[in-house]
């Protein structure tokens, strides 16, 4: 195996360890939140209301971003449009985690 492949695999293992720790911490936070909500049922109603407001805001932001992207893409020729979509895809794959 080449040096680049070894470095790549090492980086992947490091990212996997970070992801695992992140999910473990997220589980702890969720358990703590559930305990808090059991103690104060009114708090859950407040959180649900806030989540609904946030969903509306997120949908509006998403629509604005898509509109802006479409405006930019319409100004490009086919080749540049294709290059841009590939760059966006790479960015999302790298920066947006499922």
Phi, psi of 76 (to 5 degrees): -95, 155
Q: At what angle do helices 3-39 and 41-74 cross, to 10 degrees?
A: 140
Q: Is the pLDDT of residue 98 over 60?
A: no
- pLDDT score of 34: 83
Q: Is the pLDDT of residue 97 over 70?
A: no
- Domain chopping of the chain, boundaries: 1-39, 46-98
pLDDT digits (tens, 9 = 90+) for 25-83: 999 998 888 888 788 878 878 877 777 777 777 888 889 999 999 999 899 999 999 99
Distance CA(57)–CA(62), nearest Å, equals: 9
Distance CA(33)–CA(29), nearest Å, equals: 6
Phi, psi of 2 (to 5 degrees): -75, 165
Distance CA(65)–CA(9), nearest Å, equals: 35
């Amino acid at each position: 195996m080449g040096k680049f492949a070894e470095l790549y695999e090492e980086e992947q293992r490091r990212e996997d360890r970070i992801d695992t720790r992140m999910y473990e911490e997220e589980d702890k936070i969720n358990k703590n939140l559930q305990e808090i909500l059991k103690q104060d049922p009114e708090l859950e109603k407040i959180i649900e209301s806030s989540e609904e407001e946030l969903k509306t805001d997120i949908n509006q932001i998403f629509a604005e971003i898509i509109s802006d992207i479409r405006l930019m893409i319409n100004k490009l020729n086919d080749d540049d449009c294709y290059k841009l979509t590939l760059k966006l895809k790479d960015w999302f794959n790298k920066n947006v985690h499922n």
